[in-house]
Chains A and B, each alone.
Chain A
Amino acid sequence: MVTTVVDLANAPVEGEAPEVTRKRRVAWLPRSPKMIVGLVLLGLFVILAIIGPWLAPYDPGKIVVSTTQDPSAHHWLGQTQLGQDIWSQLLVGARPTMVVSFLAGAIATILSIVIGITAGYVGGWVDDVLSMIANVFLVLPALPLLIVVGSFLPKGDSANDLLVGGVIALTGWAWGARVLRAQSLSLRNRDFVEAARISGERTWRIIMSEMVPNLVAILAASFLFTVLYAIGTYVALGFLGVLNPAVNWSWGSILFDATQGQAVVSGQWWWYVPPGLCIALLGTSLALINFGIDEFINPRLRAAGLSRKVAQRAGVPRTPQLGFTPVTRRNRAASTTIAEPAAIVEVDR
């Protein structure tokens, strides 16, 4: 028997009309405005990563003699000191930035599934050893370690997205593993897992088809968090010049060039603001999606996120008179339904 998170979510909640239940079944994700904004933003960046290199009017590395570096009709975002077109660099840079970050997120998530769920499910000394390794990687300062690794890599490898993503993933899996371990510990003794074990399923099969589907929401959150981490790290490595800026066309490398070209001091904001803003927006989109998932995992956060108007309509007292419980126990189910028609998930039932 496979019980997915969505199944749990669709379990009828006491005292609710059946039509609401049906409505909920359609889709819970895009109901949250944070989620919608996040998904739309992320979608734009994915499109940019796909078509960006084709849109670029120039070769990002093409060096031309130019009298001015300022933006013009031909060079929308101006030129570097070497006459390279910054707009083209920005468009071309979307792809490596996105590819490396998502690759790193994917590799790290796979690592965290294997290590985290194994540790939580198997237990015993395996758990001790794996948890220990995860904690070590959690405490080690990642960026300095990556700089040590990156500075010894051959220069040409800076453009090798798979290698760079893999190295970043090696430092980014530990958080996800820890969260997944904690959840698998609580899942391990549920009846359906017990049933699978008694019926003689192999361990990896129990992990993959009984445990993982129940961890989808947490996995998604952990994946996005890791991607967010990877973006920051990848950009930082580019910005520091650890990734050779002559072969690496990421947004971080644009910022490295801008720093080297004294862009801030000479007021060339068109050089460093666009890539910086792109990174910030990409990060925000992921954080917003993560927020939506958080609210799905922990319904208390969602009930707390009621706007005043909605809360009033739901009959929740307007002003909190007694400290923390303005949303009283009696009203929570009702208010949740009105604010966002998604179910209450009792993770620990």
Chain B
Amino acid sequence: MVVLLRRLGFYVVTAVIAITLDFFIPHMIPGNPVEAVINSHAGAIPPQAAESLYAQFGINVHEGLWGQYLRYWDNLLHGNLGLSISQYPAQVTTVIHSAIFWTILLVGAATVVSFVLGTTIGTVVAWRRGSWLESVLPVSTFFQAMPYFFLATLLLLFFAQDLQWFPNHGGYEFENTTIGFNGPFLADALHHAILPGVTIIGASLAGWIIGMRNMMVTVADEDYVLLAEAEVLPPRKVIWYAARNAILPSVSSFALALSFVVTGSLLTEIVFSYPGIGDVLYQAVLGEDYPLIQGIFLIITFVVLAANLLADVVYVFLDPRTRQEA
């Protein structure tokens, strides 16, 4: 428990740092960020939006940087991330709210499938080392190096454009479906999610395979595995002993992997015009919607931190040593 509390403390500190960065980056760039925004939109910004921008960035307000920073925190704690420029006068939180669940479901499901599948394949490849299964490794290396959006584009081209097995954009059919918890909609949403999901799984699978296989090969030389074999335990059980120990680095490297997965799935969503946070981010970048970009950074950070905390809980569950320490 102490371990988890310490981790929780760390994530709170990280969140504070992220929020602080989010505040200070616009202030570190030379020039007046609001002027830059207004100029680049060439008069397309409604006066009220400009006013709210000034208020949000704390410019023209007769306060020091510290006062602005406190005001920023105050807004944030009231759930106020400012107004979106490109979808004015929508609140940034509203825009993000309608998109984030698509992303969490898609990325969450794909990551879990990828982790389970990759770890299993890695275990099997390590167990049968020296056999033809080893050829999985160079192939997965290629996939690992392949950019997500390129894989996404290829899948889109073959399975949606040419074969027309799957829809080529969107997260659901606008016609004939009502959004909600009903059969047709869920089936339709699943149908739309397959290609983006396969992209994320395909691109992230290799990392789990290689990580697990390498760790498994290393663990297989440990004395307790030798002992298990000497006791003529069934192979299944021996693998279980080794795998339980080999999986630990995979779980603890989850943080690093997740950063890659998030990056990749943002791009994947853009290729498939999936109605998630990636597509919103893309539109925000194209529309130079600074409040929205900053808000998305914060929300993604919070979700990633929560996922990491979850991975830590799993780790504590898997590794008794962390529990003993407490």
Residues of A at the B interface (CB closer than 8 Å) are 34, 132, 135-136, 138-145, 147-149, 151-154, 175, 228, 232-233, 235-236, 239-242, 255, 259, 264-265, 267, 269, 272, 276-277, 279-280, 282-284, 286-288, 291, 294, 298, 300-301, 304-308, 311, 316, 320, 322-327, 329
Contacts and interface: CB of A to CB of B under 8 A. Distances in A.
B46 to A, nearest CB: 21
Contacts, number: 198
Nearest to A174: B256
Contacts of A135: 10, 14
Given A151-B290, A283-B146, A325 B22 contact: no
B175 interface: no
B167 to A, nearest CB: 13
Given A148-B293, A320-B130, 4 more contacts: A144-B296, A301-B217, A306-B130, A308-B132
B128 A320 contact: yes
A311 B137 CA distance: 18
Contacts of B129: 304-306, 320, 326-327
A136 B290 CA distance: 24
B281 A272 contact: no
B150 A323 contact: no
Contact of A147 (B17, B26, B259, B293): B293
- Per CB-CB distance, the 9 closest pairs between chain A and chain B, nearest first, are A283-B145, A324-B220, A276-B150, A143-B263, A323-B238, A144-B297, A284-B145, A304-B129, A152-B29
Contacts of A283: 144-147
B147 A153 contact: no
21 contacts: A34-B138, A132-B13, A136-B13, A139-B259, A139-B305, A140-B18, A140-B304, A144-B281, A154-B31, A175-B256, A236-B267, A239-B149, A264-B153, A265-B168, A276-B149, A283-B146, A284-B141, A284-B142, A308-B131, A308-B132, A325-B225
Contacts of B285: 147, 151, 240-242
B255 A287 contact: no
A151 B10 contact: no
B33 A152 contact: yes
B286 interface: yes
Contacts of B267: 236, 239-240
Most buried by A among B25, B131, B150, B239: B150
B153 A138 contact: no
A279 B147 contact: yes
Contacts of B110: none
A228 B145 CA distance: 8
Interface in B143-168: 144-147, 149-150, 153, 156-157, 161, 168
Contact of A280 (B142, B156, B228, B297): B142
A259 B89 CA distance: 28
Contacts of A241: 282, 285-286
Nearest to A321: B235
A94 to B, nearest CB: 16
B134 interface: yes
Contacts of B256: 138, 175
Nearest to A294: B214
Given A143-B263, A272-B153, A325-B226, A304 B126 contact: yes
Interface string B225-242: 110110000010011001
- Interface of A, secondary structure class, is helix
Contacts of B14: 135-136, 139-140
Nearest to A295: B214
B130 A324 contact: no
B297 A325 contact: no
A236 to B, nearest CB: 6
A262 to B, nearest CB: 12
A298 B211 CA distance: 13
A340 to B, nearest CB: 14
B294 interface: yes
A16 to B, nearest CB: 20
B242 A324 contact: yes
A255 B219 CA distance: 43
Contacts of A305: 129, 134
Contact of B221 (A132, A264, A272, A325): A325
Contacts of A325: 220-221, 225-226, 229
Nearest to B229: A322
B301 A298 contact: no
Nearest to B235: A323
Contacts of A326: 129-130
Nearest to A267: B161
Contacts of B226: 325
B286 to A, nearest CB: 6
B204 interface: no
